[in-house]
């Protein structure tokens, strides 16, 4: 039986609540971690797709802008040559391109917002996955009867959040403490 129906369920879940009613918390955590891994891979694909969509829209805007500029130049040439009807037609086509650009810009704004949202969700998923791995490691350490400190589970950092960000945050905290 799956624990999660949506990615946001993973982000908003309480592992303690999920594990409270199960007979074998270690097995349940194994299933939860497997679902979270699947969710993380799906989130990574969604982030990549959203980034590709935003890039494609940016290219389309540039192409339409180039077309609008060409139609503007065409209108000037036609008017200079005394062909007012052709100049008018070129200006209408430039206006059409400008209308397409306006629509594409709205789509780009939405795509960029979606990309940011998906990146945030992917980072939250990564954090929840790391939490579940730590909880499972703590259960394993407790089951062995050892009173050893809880082991650190080495996990890969989220792709959208390099370790440099953490180093900068640590440096800022050190500076605050020294002040």
- Does residue 1 lie in a domain region? no
Domain that holds residue 35: 7-178
Is the pTM higher than 0.75? no
- Does residue 86 lie in a domain region? yes
Q: Which residue has the higher pLDDT, 59 or 4?
A: 59
The Cα 27–Cα 19 span in angstroms is: 10
The Cα 125–Cα 40 span in angstroms is: 6
- Does residue 54 lie in a domain region? yes
- Does residue 160 lie in a domain region? yes
Report whether 126 contacts 40 (CB < 8 A): yes
Task: List, in sequence order, the alpha helices (H) in the chain.
Answer: 7-12, 15-20, 25-80, 84-143, 163-178
Report whether 35 contacts 3 (CB < 8 A): yes
**How many structural domains is the chain composed of?**
1
What pLDDT digit, counting tens, does each position of 112-155 carry?
999 999 999 899 999 999 999 999 999 888 865 444 444 444 44
The Cα 125–Cα 13 span in angstroms is: 11
- Does residue 2 lie in a domain region? no
The Cα 122–Cα 149 span in angstroms is: 29
Average pLDDT, the chain: 85
């Amino acid at each position: 039986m799956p624990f999660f129906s949506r990615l946001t369920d993973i982000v908003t879940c309480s592992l303690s609540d999920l594990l409270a009613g199960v007979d074998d918390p270690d097995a349940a955590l194994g299933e939860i971690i497997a679902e979270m891994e699947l969710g993380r891979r799906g989130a990574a694909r969604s982030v990549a797709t959203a980034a590709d969509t935003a890039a494609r829209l940016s290219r389309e805007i540039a192409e339409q802008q180039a077309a609008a500029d060409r139609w503007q130049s065409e209108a000037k040439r036609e008017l200079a040559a005394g062909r007012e009807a052709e100049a008018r037609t070129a200006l209408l086509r430039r206006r059409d391109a400008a209308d397409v650009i306006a629509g594409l810009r709205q789509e780009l704004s939405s795509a960029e917002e979606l990309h940011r949202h998906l990146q945030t969700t992917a980072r939250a998923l990564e954090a929840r996955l790391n939490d579940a791995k730590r909880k499972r490691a703590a259960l394993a350490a407790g089951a062995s009867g050892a009173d050893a400190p809880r082991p650190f589970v080495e996990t890969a950092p989220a792709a959208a959040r390099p370790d440099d960000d953490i180093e900068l945050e640590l440096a800022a905290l050190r500076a605050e403490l020294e002040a």
